[in-house]
Amino acid sequence: MSDAVLEIALVAADRIVWSGQATMVIARTVEGDVGVLPGHAPLLSLLTDAVVEINTAEGVVVATVDGGFLSVAQDRVSILSERVLLAEEIALDESETALAEAEALPAGDEREQRIRQAEARIRAVEKARAATR
């Protein structure tokens, strides 16, 4: 089983963000965090605004998704979201500003969603930096 890999497709509405082989994927669904290894049972789940980690032979790919879907079948993992950003595409200072602006909004669904998205982007940058140390 050590040679088993997952075929990954990380897809935004307007582009294929990343595709390739990986040994593990970690994503946050509405039911909680899910780790996917080769041989995982079929799964279809809703994603939350959060970080996705893809472990490859070369290192870790870190991205954020604004909700979406996670599909696992026969060692193929599809992560589909309206918006996907790789950690290296995220400007940390802009994400920190977006978080401060979101926290200043009145309570409500829009405020909570904007906070989740900004926090996810900040975490993605931090995780990517930690993975390269």
pLDDT interval class at 48 (50, 70, 90)? very high
Percentage of the chain beyond pLDDT 70 is: 98
Nearest C-alpha neighbor of 128 from the set 79, 82, 87, 76: 87
What is the structure's pLDDT at 3? 73
Whether the predicted pLDDT of 67 surpasses 70? yes
pTM for this model (two decimals): 0.91
When mean pLDDT is compared over 19-23, 108-112, 128-132, the highest value belongs to 19-23
Measured between alpha carbons, how far is residue 103 from residues 25, 66, 81 in Å?
A: 30, 18, 24
Q: Which residues neighbour 74 within 8 Å (Cβ) at sequence distance 6 or greater?
A: 42
Average pLDDT over residues 74-85: 97
Amino acid identity for residue 53 in this structure: E
Percentage of the chain beyond pLDDT 90 is: 93
Instruction: Show me where the domains of the chain are located.
Output: 6-86, 90-131
Residue with tokens 């060692």: 75
What is the structure's pLDDT at 1? 43
CATH 2.60.15.10 fits 6-86, yes or no: yes
What is the structure's pLDDT at 131? 84
What is the structure's pLDDT at 13? 95
* Separation of alpha carbons 100 and 41, rounded Å: 40
Per the model's pLDDT, the better-predicted residue between 21 and 132 turns out to be 21
